[in-house]
Structure 1
Amino acid sequence: MLYVRPGRLSDLDALEHMARTAQPVLHSLPHDRKALEARVALSEDSFRAEVDFPGEEFYLFVLEDAASGKLLGTASIVAAAGYSEPFYAFRNDALIHASRELHVNRKIHALTMSHELTGKSRLAGFYIDPSLRGDAAAHLMSRARMMYIAANRKRFTPEVFSLLLGVSDENGVSPFWEAVGRKFFGRDFADVDVASGGRSRTFIAEVMPSYPLYVPLLPEAAQRVLGEPDEHALLAYDIQLEEGFEPDRYVDIFDAGPVLTAQVDRSACVARNESRVVRESAASTDATAAYLVASNRAGDFRCVLAELPHERAAGAALSGAARTALDVQDGDTVRCVPLHQRGSGGDIDDSADNPQGVGQ
């Protein structure tokens, strides 16, 4: 049984291994052990804190195999992106160039440096161990964050966003970085990506252009990747579309990866939420579907995937393993959300290979 829970300091060794092996870099997990320890400690403090509005809180989640105790994934939420320093992205604008005398009226796309995403809650640091098969674990790891947000609305902003990995080749070379970033930094993408620490560094504003970059003047290779997710981010991209995220007018300043945004009220984990009473699992002929099931007993958040009947009145018939993972018993109330809302899917598919899920 796989389940999601808050990360803790006792997970430090496993998290350090993820931080050092994940490619591309996970900004939510510093390579330096002391910095990583401080990050995990901040997460523990954030989960415990009484919060009335989002601030500098950081929430780190891990995916654990209950049978072995092994950690197989991680993901996080930044309560307010750029809390201490502005969060930078390129805004895709349309500028009108017109001349009445020449009968010219052209709409030209341009990229303008923006920090309008500063202060909004951000999903970040999504990683799944490559050894896991199928995409069920990735759905659980990614969307458990929205289950937590749905249950703790005061801790987060009404709109949340995520920044996904942009297109790079097999050598990690980004066409957009080569066309834009390298011209200003004179360094490799990977070096600056690590130094940026998640796009919240003042040197970004000091070095990157403050004036618009006209898209038609960029090389064709750079234009083609604007707002496109890398192949390693396609799974994260599809999962967030399932949740209700949509591409926005922003792209990453370094690799032009897509920014996805969602209104929390319209997300699946809020709009399709059902409160159900836990009962012991029993043989049933009722049709079932895969559900995200979350508990929050005494603030100790847990989330699993389980097959439940479609009818809410049937309650949450959970196996003993699921109830143990959620730390619930018969009569407790849990939050349940259908795993799939698009198409006819509903079954948990563990048959296909799952690539390393890094892309936020």
Structure 2
Amino acid sequence: MNETIKIPTVSEKWFNTKVRKFNRHKINEYLQHSPRLSPSTLTQYRSCLRIFARWIYDNCKNKKIVELKIRDGKAYQDWLISHNGSSSNTNVKMAAASELCEYIEKYYEEEYPTFRNPIRKGRERIIKTPRKEKKPLSPEEFELLVTTLKDREQFQRLCYLILTYQTACRRAESPQFSRIIANYTIDDAENYVDDYGVNHRYYLSNPIRCKGPGRLGKVRRFKISNDSMRYVRKWDAVRCERVKNLAIEDKAKGLFVRIDSRGVKDLTPAAFAYWFQYEFSDIIGRSIHPHDLRTSRATDLVVRENKPIEAVSIMMGHNSTETTEQYYVIDNHKDSDAVLL
């Protein structure tokens, strides 16, 4: 497999001083008038469109976007592919450039009646890069993580692991859990009685912006089990003790925070990625990622516990069970039917 050639990030200074004024204004205008893009997608598109502008500068003599031809669209795709990145990475950059051109074609038709989206017309079907095989955490691996974190008294990491696994929330959603939930009492609990008459107590999280279009996305309140709440309260008690010992103020609103002599600050998704890459992976002896918790949760519920996929789909925040089916992993080993002999 060829080594990926990283495409350099285009700085704001370079973009504002080198890119043709027409192109710069149209890119900024498009980004300002795209309310359907989520904040993370908006950031991603801004980076992609600056790369597109840099490519025009280097390969098309910095001409206006409306002067690009179909062959230029094809050339841009070929240039992206030549860097040996993943097909999804290439498609995102092509999509950003194409939507910019669609915007110009649609809203500036009177000024440029002959302009047609060169990206859409010039692009060809990209062969998908093989996806990394999903390997959910086994029950033994998950238990090893829990036991090790308990032994190390790393209660924040333990709280994150249990809560994120149980709710199946995404990495970008975990930092949004508010510290308020640690102060929930029995009066805040919800109750659910299953088909066997067993009562299950749970709590609803604060409203959390989940994956979805627009700036608001899809707002959800996650169901937090009574067991998960024990870890939430334990971590909050440890947090209070650390803050007291350091004699600092704690005004952070999030459940997960960084605490040092300078104060208390909410954690970002990057912190969780760091835990997985440098700590959790080392504990179980293989590379794992925060998203693996969602795959593990779906696999455990559907495959190991035979829970209805419709209910699991709702918990995962999916719009259909077809999406959920892409998450759980069934052992299709050629000898897996030997148990039937």
Structure with more of its chain in helix, by fraction? 2
Structure ranking higher on relative contact order (CA contacts 8 Å, 6+ apart): 1
TM-score, with structure 2 as normaliser = 0.26
Greater share of strand residues, 1 or 2?
A: 1
Find the structure with the greater CA-based Rg: 2
TM-score, scaled relative to structure 1? 0.25
